[in-house]
Structure 1
Amino acid sequence: MSETPKSREKTLSCLVVARNEEAMLPDCLASLDFADQLVVVLDRTTDGSKAIAEKAGALVIEGAWESEGARRNTGIDACTGDWILEVDADERATAEVASEVRSHIRSAKNGLYLIPIRNVIDGREVRHGWGAYNGAASAPRLFSKGDKIWGPERVHPSLTTGPKHGSLKHGLIHLVDRDISDMIDRMNRYTDLMARDAVEKGTVPSLGAALRRIVSRGWKSYVARKGYKEGYYGVALAFFAASYSLLIHLKAREIQDRENRS
């Protein structure tokens, strides 16, 4: 009687998209040594990131992309694993994440899975108040090949996905900001890009809607998502969540006025 052949072990690709992240990449890539393949996409990078990625054994793709979605899709296309885990350069996979992901893909249904995100500011893990434009408490990072396509937006692109199946338990460590000044700088960069997207797509939020969101999103961050537990960081997150739509509206109006004058 012949033996039943063993099923093939599922393979895992880890994808990192970066731009001038030589300070962050070594620890990030070292934490992904449980992957069968490392893919690093470098967007208009001028520092030593390429050498760091090559030393880690990664497949390196260099280029220039206007939108976050386009560069991430380029990396996804280059991944050869049955499963793909997306990790940002300022994130770290713990031993618990590595073990859980490898165990999970052996028998998981194809589709998309959330990974918890452990956001760290100035060395302190901030657990509450995330959401809207500030950042996520979890993100759709683990997926089977072909089950995730990013949209064309410059920042926070939309997603087209296969089936969604829930969340893993253990989270990636995200060194999201150094301090409140860094949080402000990030908000300014993101709203610049989102204002351009809004003008191009004709989706500029109205002033009335932006003003209403000051209350609704601030309340959601500080109260519903329990930002009040985080002290001054919770206040900061609520302020940023409340301000995003208004900043996008004002910056978009400025762009439109400039275009009208030209």
Structure 2
Amino acid sequence: MKSTLSVVIITKNEEHDIRDCLESVTWADEVIILDSGSTDNTLLIAKEYTDKVYTSIDWRGFGVQKNRVLAYASCDWILSLDADERVSEALREEILNAIQYDTEAIFKIPRLSSYCGKFIKHSGWWPDYVTRLFKRGEASFSNDLVHERLVFETNAAKLTSPLLHVTYKDLDEVISKINHYSSLGAENSHHKGRRGSLTSAIAHGLWAFFRTYIIRAGFLDGAEGLMLAISNAETTYYRYLKLLYLSK
């Protein structure tokens, strides 16, 4: 019998990304959207592609929300996507082959991400393996507020075709995400009982730049590599500063 695939996506105000994401998975057996209170056209666009659109505004973090959307899936396999990701044609064929003929239950997918219009091949961004394809019931997400991960007990095989990640489209989005993710990261660390300080903010920020630009060869990504290293450093710096004030 042919194996079936559910694509699950959580959203909030994703009108600029969700159409391209959904266009890339029209071949799936079902697509499920769980929205957390969009005020733009996200839901209208989503309903053009699927009738399985749900809402849950009791936001408790990315991990909890991704586990909630898993509960709606009914197919044999699940592919978890973010709204700014797209499944390439090569990846589509590899996924269909894997769920039909492979004996593994969990798969990692290499993710190729863009920064201000350029796909980044170094800086620690490639190959950025993300575990997103799995048999239903074989895995679930950690309940972290941000940087959630898939939790499973078996080994994960690797696919080779990239999942395209169209993120940080311009500098406005870079600045917005620095603020957003540094706040979420600080809250996540605070909930785990960690404390911040000005010294740790400076030290971790400098280390984030050095690791991205030198150790992970961000300099090979040109101007965007330098910009990425700086924004990584800023995100880290502000995360620890925000943690300092939360600790107070």
TM-score of the alignment, normalized to the shorter chain, above 0.5: yes
Equivalent residues in 2 for 1:32-43, closer than 5 Å: 32-43=25-36
Asked if the contact 2:77–2:99 (Cα under 8 Å) also holds between the matched residues in 1, the reply is yes
Higher gyration radius (CA): 1
2:18 maps to which residue?
25
Shift of 1:23: 2.5
Q: Distance in 2 between matches of 1:180 and 1:48?
A: 23
Deviations 1:164-191 (A, max 9, x none): 3232111122110122342222121011
How big is the shift at 1:210? 4.5
For 1:102 and 1:223, the matched residues in 2 are separated by: 38
Structure 2 match to 1:220: 211
In the alignment, the residues of structure 2 paired with residue 137 and residue 248 of structure 1 have an alpha-carbon distance, to the nearest angstrom, of: 22
Instruction: Say whether the 8 Å CA contact 1:26–1:52 is kept in structure 2.
Output: yes
Cα-to-partner distance string for 1:100-133 (whole Å, 9 max, x where unaligned): 10011112234321111121233321221135xx
Corresponding position of 1:230: 221
1:16 aligned partner = 9
| Structure 1 letter corresponding to 2:134 | F
Q: Distance in 1 between matches of 2:60 and 2:234?
A: 25
- Aligned positions, number: 247
Specify the SS of the correspondent of 1:117: strand
Matched, 1:93 2:93: no
Work out which of the residue numbers 226, 237, 245 in structure 2 matches 1:246.
237
Aligned mate of 1:59, from 42, 52, 60: 52
Question: Cα deviations across residues 11-54 of structure 1 (Å, max 9, x unaligned)?
Answer: 11111111011232222111101211101111111222223222
Which residue in the other structure is 1:5 paired with?
A: none
Q: Which residue of 1 aligns with 2:71?
A: 77
Q: Matched residue of 1:236: which SS?
A: helix
Other-structure match for 2:113 = 119
Distance 1:21 1:244, change over 3 A: closer
SS for the counterpart of 1:251 is helix
Sequence identity of aligned pairs in percent?
27
Question: RMSD in angstroms over aligned alpha carbons?
Answer: 2.2
Distance, in Å, in 2 between the alignment partners of 1:206 and 1:166 is 40
Letter of the 2:60 partner, please give it: E
Match of 1:163 among 148, 154, 157: 154
Instruction: Report the Cα offset of residue 69 of structure 1.
Output: 0.8
For residue 58 of structure 1, report the CA deviation from its aligned partner.
Answer: 4.1
Structure 2, unmatched stretches of 5+, are none
CA contact (8 A) 1:191 1:248 kept: yes
Asked if 2 retains the 8 angstrom alpha-carbon contact of 1:111 and 1:162, the reply is no
